Amino acid sequence: MTKWLLAVTLVLMALPSSTVAQSKPLVLASQGSFFVGGESKTSKELTSSTTGPGAGETGDVTVNQMYVQYQTPVNGSQHAPVVMVHGCCLSSKTWETTPDGRMGWNEYFVRKGHSVYLADQSSRARSGFDATKINAVKLGQVPPSELPNIFMVSHQASWVVFRFGPTFNTAFPDEQFPVQAADELYKQMIPDLNAFLPTPNPTWTNMAALAVQLKGAVLMGHSESGFFPEQAALIDPTGVKGIVTIETGCTTTLKPEELSRLAKIPILIMFGDHLGDITGPFGSFWTTGFDNCTKFVQQVNDAGGDAQMMYLPKMGIKGNSHMLMQDKNNLQLADLILGWIDEHVERKKTAHHK
């Protein structure tokens, strides 16, 4: 045992045993952050101010890059890396500490032996966005009508669309989202600038490139990004070893050659509860999404694939919201995904995780 190992051991032994029992220290082989993709673009509207820094300057900025933060456990090479991509009006905060302060999927997957890569979608959060158009409008160079849409979700809409309950501030009796901490979720909700992006969405390309860079990874998407893993695989399937699609609207109009490409990749789709129990403008949103995803699963399997729908209520798991990774039973759901990765991606017959 090296001097350092001895030191760590002594420090750990010096902790009150209750502390250790409550939450074991997290041991990482490495962690860090980097970007995938991004290209230079010349901008003449670095600022909308007509004086001071940047005024009147023409210069280059980098756009469409994707920020990625990762952690690798000491035994990480034994399991497939998992890339997690958040949904609309959210950032990678989605996967971290839950609104009521419990462990997020990011840390849980690491503790279960997987390297985890959290990506902020291109044009969101630490990935930045291209403000050129907004400044050009302020400077009077282009009309306001050219502004791309920016989308914010209200507390009121979130509550219902995320299926915390039938109407704002009323929860379903068996609701799994920690509704008393809803205010903490609202702080995570940030403007969505995806309408600023070119086609195809650079996040798709960047996810495909990241999977190649990792020499194989499971891509996971949620809601707005739920079908991004499939889109990434359609761009370049080389690194995509598995796909986890959580609560989204699936595409059912893929061509046969596209379906046969996806049929080579194990696909898991997960949906929570109360899909048809909300009213208002989003009343049929989730039932339609679920029906399309059910059809997509069938299409992939008809093409010889390995696609599976985990519809939680059908499995006896009740009350889950749209924010499955933050629900009170989030680690139970994580175990379902980890077990699926074991069986379908890592091709193990038994689902043992360390």
Contact between 333 and 295 under an 8 Å Cβ cutoff? The reply is no
Strand 217-222 relative to strand 240-246: parallel, antiparallel, unpaired? parallel
Binding marks (x or -) toward a copy of itself, 163..202, rule CB under 8 A? --------------------xx-xxxxxx-----------
Taking the C-alpha atoms of residue 253 and residue 194, their distance in angstroms, rounded to an integer, is: 23
Closest distance to a copy of itself from the beta carbon of 20 (Å): 7
Closest distance to a copy of itself from the beta carbon of 137 (Å): 5
Strand 267-271 relative to strand 240-246: parallel, antiparallel, unpaired? parallel
Nearer to a copy of itself, 97 or 294 (CB): 97
Mark out the alpha helices in 191-348 (DSSP H runs). Answer: 202-213, 228-235, 256-262, 285-302, 330-340
Rule CB under 8 A: say whether 301 interacts with a copy of itself.
Answer: no
Binding marks (x or -) toward a copy of itself, 281..300, rule CB under 8 A? xx------------------
Closest distance to a copy of itself from the beta carbon of 250 (Å): 19
Closest distance to a copy of itself from the beta carbon of 246 (Å): 19
Ranges within 24-43 binding a copy of itself (CB under 8 A)? 24-35, 38, 40, 43
Closest distance to a copy of itself from the beta carbon of 7 (Å): 8
Give the strands of the sheet with 116-120, arranged side by side: 66-73, 116-120, 82-85, 217-222, 240-246, 267-271, 307-311
Stretch that binds a copy of itself, among 149-157, 253-261, 268-276, 319-327 (CB under 8 A): 149-157
Mapped onto helix, strand or coil, the DSSP state of residue 222 is strand
* Residue 73, number of CB atoms within 10 A of its CB: 22
Mapped onto helix, strand or coil, the DSSP state of residue 137 is helix
Taking the C-alpha atoms of residue 66 and residue 143, their distance in angstroms, rounded to an integer, is: 29
Nearer to a copy of itself, 223 or 299 (CB): 223
Rule CB under 8 A: say whether 351 interacts with a copy of itself.
Answer: no
Ranges within 48-87 binding a copy of itself (CB under 8 A)? 48-49, 53-54, 57-62, 65, 67, 69, 74-75
Nearest to 253 by CA among 230, 280, 279, 283: 230
CA 62, 151, 96, 72 dihedral sign is negative
Rule CB under 8 A: say whether 101 interacts with a copy of itself.
Answer: yes
Nearer to a copy of itself, 47 or 298 (CB): 47
Q: How many CA atoms lie within 13 A of 287 on its CB side?
A: 9
Ranges within 205-264 binding a copy of itself (CB under 8 A)? none
Ranges within 117-146 binding a copy of itself (CB under 8 A)? 120, 125-132, 134-135, 137-138, 140, 144-145
Stretch that binds a copy of itself, among 6-14, 169-177, 225-233, 322-330 (CB under 8 A): 6-14
Cis peptide before 266 (omega within 30 of 0): no
81, 85, 93, 205: which one binds a copy of itself (CB under 8 A): 93
Closest distance to a copy of itself from the beta carbon of 156 (Å): 5
